[in-house]
Amino acid sequence: MSSSTPMPEIRVFPTAEEAEISVAAELGAQLRAAPASVLGLATGNSMIGVYRELVRLHRDEGLSFAGMTSFNLDEYCGLVADDPSSFAAYMHLHLFDLVDADTSKLHLPDGNSAEAGAAYEASITAAGGIELQLLGIGRNGHIGFNEPGSPQNSRTRIVELAQRTREVNAADFPPGAEVPHHAVTMGIATILDSRRIILLATGAAKAEALADAMSGAVRPENPASFLQTHPRVTLVCDEAAAALLPAQLRG
């Protein structure tokens, strides 16, 4: 990381649960301060705890999602929306159906349309852009489904999933089911257009990719490294994911 590169804010928690609760608190604070916020949402195992806490905040503390507009990062190609392995089903299971969200304001990219990318970009622009984007990181450094090799100027598009990604994600599909080979994802440039980004990383399996993304060269081989160029990135992680971060980054 060069001296001219903006330094991310890094918060390290002893456990994954504490990191997830912290991220939920940030999202909750955003919605309380600006109920009509446009949020970029993510899926994956590390996000389940975030959404669990957001549901608790809605139930116990009156946090409202009624004014929120959301755009999800990605979706598999070839799955119908109610397929239990789709990200649409994930979002309804873990968040949308458990809070007072307006279904007309909840957007996921269409994995079954070749024209989905341009339409999704237009919808984000029409909504005023994403104010706060939630991200995870893959073991190979992918953000969204921007696999290694994704260029910095990429926009929402259909991509081929890396074999490693498909192997990791096989756990989210029924035994013996084939993981789709393609997905539609926001591009790197789409993500970087967000006014603020929160990257959540938990578990030792993410440590190598995370350290390289935050302190290595900015390059397509680790797509998350492009986050170094964004002026407002907050990294929230547990000790296991932070294990390989350079000491100067941890403060």
> What's the pLDDT at 113?
81
The percentage of residues in the chain with a pLDDT greater than 90, rounded to a whole number, is: 90
Q: Which of 20, 26, 53, 74 is catalytic?
A: 74
> What's the pLDDT at 4?
53
C-alpha span between 170 and 179 (Å, rounded)? 6
In the β-sheet with 233-238, what is the strand arrangement from edge to edge? Answer: 9-13, 233-238, 196-201, 132-135, 38-41, 69-72, 106-107
Q: Which two tokens stand for residue 161?
A: 């999933």
For 9-184+193-207, CATH gives 3.40.50.1360
Q: Can you list the residues of the chain whose pLDDT is less than 50?
A: 2-3
Q: Which of 53, 75, 147, 193 is catalytic?
A: 147
> What's the pLDDT at 7?
74
Catalytic residue at 102? no
CB 184 within 8 A of CB 117: yes
CB 196 within 8 A of CB 132: yes
> What's the pLDDT at 249?
83
Catalytic residue at 94? no
C-alpha span between 26 and 65 (Å, rounded)? 14
Q: Which of 17, 140, 182, 208 is catalytic?
A: 140
pLDDT, one tens digit per residue, over 99-139 is 999 999 999 999 888 788 999 999 999 999 999 999 999 99
CA atoms within 13 A on the CB side of 52: 11
Catalytic residue at 131? no
Q: Which of 142, 146, 222, 230 is catalytic?
A: 142
CA atoms within 13 A on the CB side of 237: 31
Domain residue limits, the chain: 9-184+193-207
> What's the pLDDT at 2?
45
pLDDT, one tens digit per residue, over 53-63 is 999 999 999 99
**Which residues does residue 159 pair with via DSSP β-bridges, in sequence order?**
183
pTM value? Answer: 0.95
Catalytic residue at 74? yes
